[in-house]
């Protein structure tokens, strides 16, 4: 699977191993992909002591980024992403979502998307798509079965008002 291959590049890199020695309590929280650069992946590791995220990116070489603030509600819990529970690879999730959206919204033309593999109760793909009609379509896809768990469609104007 592409996700395990890319994540393996991160976790086997010397830069990650050196960082992990001083951050043994950190755990994988998400993987991020974008249609802007399909070969690129960001792996986010949650740092419980600081409530921040360490991101490593891989697109050939592995790069370490500065710790980042987390966009979450104050009482939200960051869950560990268990890659062993993921049975549907990113390509399958994206192609299944594209087929679903083509069937349900044939008038929509997808411009770009981004995907976050994360755990909210269980591993899921959180896929956000932007369309030429200025709509945002968000699908949550079960990462074990490929089943669409939830779907939301709204205009960018509505999104700006939130």
Please provide the average confidence, as pLDDT, over all residues in the chain.
Answer: 92
Q: Is the pLDDT of residue 157 over 80?
A: no
* pLDDT for 155: 87
* pLDDT for 43: 98
Q: Is the pLDDT of residue 28 over 90?
A: yes
| Distance, CA of 157 to CA of 64 (rounded, Å) | 35
CATH topology of domain 84-161: Nuclear Transport Factor 2; Chain: A, (3.10.450)
Query: Which H or E run includes 117?
Result: strand 110-120
Token pair of 8 as six digits: 């393996």
Which pTM value belongs to this model?
A: 0.92
Compare 108 and 161 and report the one with higher pLDDT.
Answer: 108
Q: Is the pLDDT of residue 162 over 60?
A: no
Interacting residues of 33 by C-beta distance below 8 A, sequence separation 6+: 40, 41, 90, 114, 115, 117
For 9-13, 50-54, 98-102, which range has the lowest pLDDT when averaged over its residues? 98-102
CA geometry: angle at 97 spanning 91 and 98, to 5°? 90
* pLDDT for 158: 66
| Distance, CA of 51 to CA of 36 (rounded, Å) | 29
Q: What digits encode the pLDDT tens for the residues 81-107? A: 999 999 999 999 999 999 999 999 888
Q: Which residues of 115-150 are buried (b: 16+ CB within 10 A; e: fewer)?
A: bbbbbeeebbbbbebbbeeebebebbbbbeebebbe
153: β partners: 137
* pLDDT for 159: 57
* pLDDT for 21: 96
Q: What digits encode the pLDDT tens for the residues 109-151? A: 888 999 999 999 999 999 999 998 889 999 999 999 999 999 9
* pLDDT for 110: 86
Distance (Å) of CA 133 to CA 14, 54, 87, 95, 156: 45, 35, 33, 21, 9
Q: Is the pLDDT of residue 160 over 80?
A: no
């Amino acid at each position: 699977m592409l996700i395990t291959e890319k994540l393996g590049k991160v976790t086997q890199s010397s830069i990650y191993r050196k960082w992990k020695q001083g951050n043994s309590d950190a755990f994988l929280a998400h993987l991020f992909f974008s249609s802007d650069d399909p070969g690129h992946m960001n792996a986010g590791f949650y740092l419980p002591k600081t409530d921040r995220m360490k991101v490593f990116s891989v697109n050939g070489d592995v790069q370490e980024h500065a710790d980042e603030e987390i966009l979450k509600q104050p009482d939200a819990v960051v869950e560990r992403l268990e890659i062993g529970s993921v049975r549907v690879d990113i390509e399958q999730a994206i192609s299944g979502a594209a087929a679903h959206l083509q069937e349900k919204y044939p008038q929509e033309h997808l411009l770009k998307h981004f995907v976050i593999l994360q755990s909210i109760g269980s591993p899921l793909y959180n896929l956000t798509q932007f369309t030429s009609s200025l709509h945002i379509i968000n699908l949550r896809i079960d990462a074990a079965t490929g089943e669409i768990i939830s779907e939301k469609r709204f205009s960018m104007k509505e999104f700006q008002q939130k």
